[in-house]
Amino acid sequence: MRKKPIGISGIAIYVPPFRVWLDDWCEWTDNQWPKIREVVGRSFRMRGPNQSIYTMAATAVLRLIEQYHIDPSRVKFLGLGTESSTDNSAGAIIIKGMVDRELERRGKPPIARSCEVPEFKHACLGGVYGMKSAIRHLALDGAGSQAIVVCADIAEYARGSSGEPTQGAGAVAMLIEENPTLAEVDLFRSGSASDYRIMDFRKPMVRFCGQDRSGSQQVQDFPVFNGKYSTTCYIDETLHALNDMYRKRDLRASDYIRSLKTVFMHRPYRRMPETGWAVAYLFALGSGNSEDHAELASYCYEAGIEPEALLNEMISKPVIADLAAPERLNNEVYPLTMAVFRIFRASRRYSREILDKLALGSDTMLDLGNVYTAALPAWIAAGFEQALEEGRDMAGEELLTLGYGSGDAAEVIPFIVSDGWREATRAIGFAKAMEFTIDLTEEQYADLHDGRRPRGLDYLPRSEFVIDHVGQSDQRQFTDLGIEYYRYLR
């Protein structure tokens, strides 16, 4: 008997309203707006004074239940993907508790008591791992039930760092079930890759030592990262995950890549997926037939590189972790490939094979910023909404998704668009979630970033969860030091 397909039937979004325009940020910081616009995007969002990943995640989950008329008692798996946890013990159960209380207040049943509540952490890949786990759950002991996976993160970087313009905050919740109405998630034909990269992008706990956050109760979560090295890791792991999928499916890479119409990738900023997919295309040409080699050679000659030298580089097996030293961090592991890439990027074929396939939803993402685990599902949601608006016929189409987590791992997973995708897409509400904004001044941005309450920011949250207060007691009889207490503002 053929097993039922499992995948995504709904998506809901929560985005905080506090917005920083990157052209304004460039004026404040003396950065070049044309470069930031092309490499990063247009704007990013910031969490509010009374928000955390838990409040944003719970709001997204409650919206998902409302927008798709979910019977909470059928939900037997609630997974949280995040790299911004502030509690090293509890995770998804915090979200379940908030949502259950509000559902009961409304006279509705809570999420099932028998619901599993795991948290998944592997940098920006935690949400994809959560989705895979939910699908496996529904394929085995959870068959016939429903699952929710919520990805919530706060991307923040020190002011003055190279990562500062790539900040962001938000949450995306996904409904996973059998016979999905949005898209089947095809794990059988997916590809995986992982390798330890030492200092790609890390968050060691020692960073928190000595922080005085008494003014805001928010711990600053600035990562340890090295930009050039992190880009190298992203590209290399993308290639390995794709190769795993090619082998599983016995695919010729160049034919497969050309056959795709739409690709969604992890997107910390605008240029990263464009570069990653372009290098994947060049490597596909390198493993292709004579026509593929001829196309690749045309870029090589323009770059002044011998094609044979490039092909030898492509079949080499560099140890990326060897670059994890101060004197080698800025070295290029694929120098010939990147030189050819710069020529390829100026060609017409680049627009057709790279930009066109990354186009769905990409304009919306220019105003979201980096949301770590939520970046990929947010882009997927934005892409479906754009396809609906443009009247595209996507039923039965294979979309390729690529999730990535620094540190270092990647997952390449095909999605097959369901026949009922239009109806499921109408309920997403991504554009609506992005509508309400509060544009921050330089002073308000600095205050919010640094944990102070911004002056002149008169905003009363509505229809969302907030932190009511944080426990202060550290007595022998009763201790709640650091515990967040929540409430829903109607």
Place of tokens 């920006």: 124
Beta bridge partners of 479: 474
pLDDT for position 2 = 56
Low-confidence ranges of the chain (pLDDT < 70): 1-2, 209-218
Beta bridge partners of 77: 116, 147
Q: Is 34 exposed, middle or buried (0-12, 13-18, 19+ CB in 10 A)?
A: exposed
Domains of the chain, first to last: 6-187+419-489 (3.40.47.10), 225-400 (no CATH)
Query: Would you list the DSSP string of 165-204?
Result: GG-EEEEEEEEEEES-SSEEE-GGG-EEEE---SSSEE--
Distance CA 58, CA 39 (A): 32
pLDDT for position 197 = 85
CA nearest neighbour of 184 among 380, 410, 6: 6
pLDDT for position 1 = 45
Entry field: residues in the chain: 490
Helix (H) / strand (E) element for 21: namely: strand 18-21
In the 8-state DSSP scheme, what is residue 404? E
CB 203 within 8 A of CB 225: no
Distance CA 58, CA 94 (A): 8
pLDDT for position 213 = 57
Give the 3-state secondary structure of residue 230: helix
Greatest pairwise CA separation for the chain in angstroms: 77
pLDDT for position 452 = 87
CB 200 within 8 A of CB 403: no
Torsion sign over Cα 402, 405, 406, 409: negative
φ, ψ (nearest 5 deg) of residue 429: 75, 30
